[in-house]
Structure 1
Amino acid sequence: MEQWKRTILSGNSCFNRGDLIDARELYLQALALAQVLFDRWRVADEAVAAYVISHHNLADLHLSLGQPEESAEYLCTVHQRLLNVIQDSQMAPALRQAALRHSNKTYSELLGFVGQYGEYPRTQRLLNSNGEHSRSALQHPAARAGTLSFGVH
């Protein structure tokens, strides 16, 4: 977790300075760490948060580069992954619960993106095919408890 934190913070510093190429490289490194360690971190909520933050930071970066379709891909990828984890009975219950809580944020970010930038093929497919599942999952009381607070722009 500490290596992920250092990497995401370094990426945030680059992003804030306008050094978007180095920020992208650091965010991709952070995402790789979050993906590899996703189901291995001791604290499931931290694992899911790191995964979500890594994707959302990359989405923000691509918006800054004028690449909204790339941004949409990152937003869709993270939301779809959380939906898959929620439904996967082979995953640890704590990880499934964390995914449910954080799916509230990913769904909200995805809807906000579509409202501001319009639909793209993947956003349309994801929201139309999983929209009902997403809405019902987000109505679950545990989903409302999750928040992201580390490293998000």
Structure 2
Amino acid sequence: MKVWQLLLVKGNDSFNKQELPLAEDYYHQAIECLEQEWHADIENSNLLLAWISAFHNLAVLYEEQGQPKMAFRYLQIPHQRMTELSQQSQYSDDLKFVALRTLKMTLMPLMAFSKKYPACDGCLTSLKKMEMDVNASQPVMH
């Protein structure tokens, strides 16, 4: 088992035991490990998905602690990164394809979160526009 995998497992175990500060620390460590590995192997979609998952775990943790602004921030980070990856020409078509496919995965929690917690009108409009853009740009598999 890779270090980041072990850290995510420990984070999940700590979260389930309601040891939230410990879970938070494990998730942050997992993100750090994942970012190092992913930087060395940017085409690895498993690392990318695990990285997104670690951020989403932190979002759930912060929501559980009554910190919706922090939770929203940790949902935004992977979505913004996938938007960047999908649009930057220096990356391979395969990576841009994966990033484009994961945009929907990162947008859905943002949309659900905005229904639970009031967001400004501009934020809601922006999220709805992103949702329409993501749905329109999803690659078609034949």
Q: Which residue of 1 aligns with 2:136?
A: 139
Q: Alignment partner of 2:80: what SS?
A: helix
Query: 3-state SS of the aligned residue for 1:66?
Result: coil
RMSD, aligned α-carbons: 2.6
2:113 matched residue in structure 1 = 113
| C-alpha separation in 1, matches of 2:2 and 2:26 | 14
In structure 2, C-alpha distance between the alignment counterparts of 1:45 and 1:120, rounded to whole Å: 33
* C-alpha distance 120-86 of structure 1, shift in aligned 2 (>3 A): same
Distance 2:37 2:11 in 1: 19
The residue aligned with 1:52 is 52
Instruction: Find out whether 1:19 has 2:19 as its counterpart.
Output: yes
TM-score between the two structures when normalised by the length of structure 1: 0.80
SS at match of 1:32: helix
* TM-score, L = length of structure 2: 0.85
Greater relative contact order (Cα 8 A, min sep 6): structure 1 or 2? 1
Structure 2 unaligned residues grouped into runs of 5+: none
2:102 is aligned with what amino acid?
H
% same residue: 26
Residue segments in structure 1 that go unaligned for 5+ positions in a row: 145-153
Structure 2 match to 1:6: 6
Partner Cα distance (1:108, 1:24) in 2: 23
Aligned partner of 1:76 in structure 2 is 76
**CA offset at residue 35 of structure 1?**
2.0
